[in-house]
């Protein structure tokens, strides 16, 4: 079977919490709270499905436009998640990184991030990246500004990681968006160059481990060619000889 030896990088746009709550006559933050349960399920299921890196889109830089009550609820949920999940993340060998800007986050959230990143630094089973105050275009601009006179793809990828305050991660293999919209909303624009895309109308709080398994199974049936031809080996990984962008 294809891709079996390769640990996947799956990136998830966790969308649909607000609609989930509204459909039940609840306030939007109730949907975000239910969404945290889904995060727990998905993080637990990911390593069993061959996922080595999981990037979750939790709060975009454009989400600051929402009412402050919703923003405050989201920040508080993140802080609490990092606090309550820490022992489990450590036990399960999860290494956590937050990607995105940190300077606009509340101090208590920044402190929770620093602690969780430090305490999970030895995790080897799963790299969990949570995107907070994240904008791919802002990250690309910052990386471009840091790049020296030799703008190769690997150098740019490293500059991008630095711009997001996190170690370099592999390209995204599988991108999943819940909630029915079919767009990227400024998420991992560079890293998704050859990602396989899966869009599902299931709302994030309703997503199950089995749904994630189905998406991975769908991914494994796809023929990734990276611009080459089927069956010439290029379906297994990125090509060894990379064309330079310069
Ligand atoms: C995704 O759910 C979570 C965040 C963007 C923080 P939404 O809050 O966007 O839910 P919908 O799209 O309004 O249903
Ligand atoms: C994308 O969802 C951001 C996150 C899931 C964190 P949005 O709900 O903010 O995206 P749009 O506004 O529908 O594009
Ligand atoms: Mg949304």
What is the per-residue pLDDT across 114-164, written as a single tens digit (0 to 9) for each?
999 999 999 999 999 999 999 999 999 999 998 888 889 999 999 999 999
Q: How far are the Cα atoms of 57, 69, 75, 105 from residue 110, in angstroms, in the given order?
A: 17, 19, 10, 6
63 is catalytic: yes
Q: Which residue has the least CA distance to atom 1 on ligand 2?
A: 185
Q: What is the pLDDT of residues 6-37, one digit of tens each?
A: 899 999 999 999 999 999 999 999 999 999 99
pLDDT given at position 233 = 52
In a domain, 175, yes or no: yes
- Domain assignment of residue 197, yes or no: yes
Examine residue 162 and state whether it is found in any structural domain, yes or no.
yes
* Residues contacting 80, CB < 8 A, separation 6+: none
| Nearest atom of ligand 1 to the alpha carbon of 60 | 5
Rounded to 5 degrees, φ, ψ at 169 are: -115, 155
Ligand 2 contact via 211 beta carbon (within 6 Å)? no
- Cα separations in angstroms, 58 against 67, 132, 152, 244: 16, 6, 30, 32
49 CB-near residues (< 8 Å, 6+ apart): 8, 212, 213, 216
- The answer to whether the CB of 163 is under 6 A from ligand 1 is no
- Residue 35 pLDDT: 98
Structural domain of residue 107, as residue ranges?
A: 8-221
| Ligand found nearest the CA of 74 | 1
With the most atoms of ligand 2 within 8 angstroms of its CB, the residue from 22, 60, 187 to mutate is 60
- pLDDT, one tens digit per residue, over 196-240 is 999 999 999 999 999 999 999 999 999 999 999 987 654 454 544
Tell me: pLDDT of 91 over 60.
yes
The catalytic residue among 63, 76, 158, 171 is: 63
Q: Is 118 inside any structural domain?
A: yes
The CATH number linked to 100 is 3.40.1180.10
What is the CA(147)–ligand 2 centre distance, in A?
Answer: 29
Ligand nearest to the CA of 65: 2
The total number of structural domains in the chain stands at: 1
Q: Could you tell me if 96 and 116 are in contact, meaning their C-beta atoms sit under 8 angstroms apart?
A: yes
pLDDT of residue 179: 98
Residue 240 confidence (pLDDT)? 47
Residue 4 has pLDDT above 70, yes or no: no
Is 198 a member of any domain?
Answer: yes
Spatial distance between the Cα atoms of 231 and 25, rounded to a whole number of angstroms: 51
Q: What is the mean pLDDT of the chain?
A: 93
């Amino acid at each position: 079977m294809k891709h079996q030896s390769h640990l996947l990088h799956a990136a998830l746009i966790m969308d649909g919490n607000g609609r989930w709550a509204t459909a039940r006559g609840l306030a939007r933050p109730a949907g975000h709270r239910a969404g945290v349960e889904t995060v727990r399920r998905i993080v637990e299921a990911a390593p069993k499905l061959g996922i080595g890196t999981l990037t979750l889109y939790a709060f975009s830089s454009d989400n600051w436009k929402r009412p402050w009550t919703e923003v405050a609820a989201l920040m508080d949920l993140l802080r609490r998640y990092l606090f309550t999940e820490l022992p489990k993340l450590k036990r399960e060998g999860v290494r956590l990184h937050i990607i995105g800007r940190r300077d606009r986050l509340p101090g208590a959230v920044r402190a929770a991030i620093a602690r969780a990143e430090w305490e999970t630094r030895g995790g080897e089973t799963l790299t969990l990246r949570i995107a907070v105050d994240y904008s791919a275009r802002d990250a690309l601009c910052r990386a471009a500004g840091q790049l020296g006179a030799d703008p190769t793809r690997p150098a740019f990828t490293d500059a991008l990681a630095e711009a997001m305050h996190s170690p370099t991660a592999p390209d995204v293999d599988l991108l999943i968006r819940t909630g029915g919209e079919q767009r990227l909303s400024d998420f991992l624009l560079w890293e998704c160059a050859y990602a396989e895309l899966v869009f599902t109308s299931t709302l994030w709080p309703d997503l199950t481990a089995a749904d994630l398994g189905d998406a991975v199974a769908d991914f494994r049936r796809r023929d990734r060619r990276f611009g080459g031809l089927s069956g010439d080996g290029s379906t297994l990984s990125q090509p060894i000889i990379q064309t330079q962008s310069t």
